[in-house]
């Protein structure tokens, strides 16, 4: 099992937490060297690394050329191998992490790419480099910093949308539940453990899987439907569909309940806008949580 975080990054993570405390421990996401000027609704922001302008941030609504009628959120769970995604409209596919392996042979022109965990970048940067120029990329602060450490020129030709953790936002101390409840775009469960952002541009609730973040962006795009492919959750201790024996660490097993709870809230809020949310994995933990199973992309036996 490979954790795929450089030892130096682990040291920085520990040191920042010890020096700054829990409320500002997420400074490690951008330290050292990364400085972001956040985009506004009508103006791009900037990405600077060690004083050099290396890319630009844009808003999630302006990033897309046109509003998608449907969004298919494609993960890398083992059930992807049971799906025939040649039936999907590639331009509706939001690819998460290892689903990049589907480009370009299966999905020639994805709607966007989303990467939230910097460990994926450290382990699979050769795969990340295959993302074509002009492709919309939803990236977290730590992922942007990791990319800068590996190849700061990569960001220049791609529209970058920031996945900013609303609980631990860029440049701001950690927010507690009381502070979150004051934000007009935030929806929270009664205990404050589960949340949804109605304005991903302002921040996203993260829950241990980039699928949760991607779903909040998808709802904001107001499609007719949102589908989940390869979002299995129930078998995250097994190799991903593209892995063999060298399996990368995943925290999804430990976070399964939190992830599912966030997706259940997402489905409920999407329904308020008339957006249908469906699950295309027969083995997903979502099956037993009211999502059911839609066999639209099932391979013929």
pLDDT digits (tens, 9 = 90+) for 277-298: 999 999 999 999 999 999 999 9
CATH of the domain at 80: 3.90.1480
Minimum mean pLDDT range among 52-56, 61-65, 229-233, 270-274 = 61-65
Residue 295 forms part of a structural domain = no
User: What whole-number distance in Å separates Cα of residue 171 and Cα of residue 279?
Assistant: 36
- Is 159 domain-assigned? yes
User: Is residue 296 a part of any domain in this protein?
Assistant: no
82-120 residue pLDDT tens: 999 999 987 899 999 999 999 999 999 999 999 999 999
What's the confidence (pLDDT) of residue 246?
Answer: 57
Give me the pLDDT at residue 250, please: 55
pLDDT recorded at residue 1: 43
Which pLDDT tens digit goes with each residue over 135-189? 999 999 999 999 999 999 999 999 999 999 999 999 999 999 999 999 999 999 9
> Would you state the pLDDT for residue 22?
95
| Mean pLDDT along residues 237-250 | 54
In a domain, 300, yes or no: no
pLDDT exceeds 50 at position 206: yes
User: Is residue 298 in a domain?
Assistant: no
Mean pLDDT of 194-208: 97
* pLDDT tier for residue 23 given thresholds of 50, 70 and 90: very high
- 236 found inside a domain: yes
Domain presence at residue 299: no
* Domain coverage including residue 13: 7-63+71-289
- Output the DSSP codes for the chain: -B----HHHHHHHHHHHHHH-GGGGGGGGTTTTEEEE---SSS-EEEEETTEEEEEE--HHHHSSS--SEEEEE---GGGGGB-GGGS-GGGEEEEGGGGGGTTTT-SS-SEEEE--HHHHHHHHHHHTTSPTT--EEEEHHHHHHHHHHHGGGGGGS-EEEE-BSSS-TTSPPP-HHHHHT-TTEEE-TTSSSEEES-TTT-B---SSHHHHHHHHHHHT--SEEEEES---TTTTSPPTT-SSSPBP--HHHHHHHHHHHHHHHHHHHHHTT-EEEE--TT-TTGGGTT----TTBPP-
Q: Has residue 49 been placed in a domain?
A: yes
pLDDT band at 75 (very low <50, low <70, confident <90, very high): very high
Number of domains in the chain: 1
């Amino acid at each position: 099992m490979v954790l795929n975080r450089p030892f130096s990054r682990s040291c920085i993570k520990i040191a920042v937490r010890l020096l700054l405390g829990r409320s500002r421990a997420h400074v490690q996401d951008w330290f050292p060297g990364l400085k972001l000027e956040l985009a506004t609704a009508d103006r791009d922001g900037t990405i600077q690394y060690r004083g050099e302008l290396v890319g630009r941030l844009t808003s999630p609504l302006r990033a897309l050329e046109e509003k998608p009628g449907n969004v298919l959120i494609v993960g890398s769970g083992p059930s992807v191998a049971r799906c025939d995604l040649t039936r999907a409209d590639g331009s509706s596919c939001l690819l998460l992490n290892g689903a990049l392996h589907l480009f370009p042979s299966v999905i020639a022109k994805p709607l966007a790419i989303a990467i939230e965990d910097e460990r994926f970048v450290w382990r699979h940067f050769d795969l990340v480099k295959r993302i074509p120029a002009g492709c919309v990329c939803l990236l977290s602060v730590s992922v942007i910093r990791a990319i800068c450490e590996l190849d700061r020129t990569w960001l220049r030709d791609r529209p970058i949308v920031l996945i900013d953790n609303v609980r631990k936002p860029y440049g701001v101390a950690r927010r507690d539940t009381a502070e979150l409840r004051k934000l007009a775009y935030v929806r929270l469960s009664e205990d404050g453990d589960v949340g949804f952002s109605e304005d991903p541009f302002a921040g996203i609730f993260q829950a241990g899987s980039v699928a949760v973040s991607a779903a909040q962006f998808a709802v904001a795009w107001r499609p007719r439907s949102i589908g989940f492919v390869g979002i299995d959750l129930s078998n995250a201790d097994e190799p991903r569909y593209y892995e063999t024996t060298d399996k990368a660490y995943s925290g999804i097993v430990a976070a399964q309940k939190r992830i599912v709870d966030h997706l259940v809230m997402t489905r409920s809020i999407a329904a308020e806008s008339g957006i249908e949310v469906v699950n295309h994995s027969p083995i997903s933990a979502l099956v037993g949580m009211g999502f059911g199973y839609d066999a639209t992309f099932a391979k013929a036996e």
